[in-house]
Structure 1
Amino acid sequence: MEKDHFKDRTADCRRRSMIHPGDCVFICTKNRQRDAKDIQDLNLIKVSRNLTRQEDHPRGQKVQGTDVVTGQKLVGRVVYLTTDGSYIRTAHGDLTIQEWRNYHHKKK
């Protein structure tokens, strides 16, 4: 998952104290970790509970929640926090999905 595709995520996605039930976050599920490269490879979920006991986890907090599109219950590691579910919080500031894609396509 990590490779070079999601290096702009903030350190907050690793901190337990920053993720609460009801928050919307982008997660990478276990089966997508090897091939996730774009925001569309991640799932936007509403967090129901945090599964990681550590306050700070280097690969991101593992959470359980409900996919906001399909309603499916999912478990995965937090890649990005969101602001109101519409802006992705990155090291470069809050970006819309289109701004995130534009930024990553410029880097290539």
Structure 2
Amino acid sequence: MDKESKLEEEILASFERDEWRSVPSLKEEIARYASIASTSLAKDKPVNIRISSRDLEDIQAKAAEEGIPYQTLMASVLHKYVTGRLIETPPSPTPRSIRTARKRAAG
């Protein structure tokens, strides 16, 4: 018996032993992962915090640079922090720090 015939018999025997299982389609997998993401990222609890008006202005400016609402930016930063994915980078100048630097230079 040649190799191909032997392989075909092994496959047929495996099928007859009910060892074969259907795999989900790509659409089903995408839908499953989308559902998981939607559930885990659901924003279902409101939170009130007090921050300085200067910090809020800087957050709003950063959000405007990113083209997203400032509350979305704040939620994203908090999520990255609690999941250990917040990466600290050297600070970029903020409108406030630029104003402060100009005042110091002029004074």
Normalising by structure 1, report the TM-score: 0.23
**More helix by percentage:** 2
Higher strand share: 1
TM-score (norm 2): 0.23
Higher relative contact order (CA 8 A, sep 6+): 1
Looking at CA atoms only, which structure, 1 or 2, has the larger radius of gyration?
2
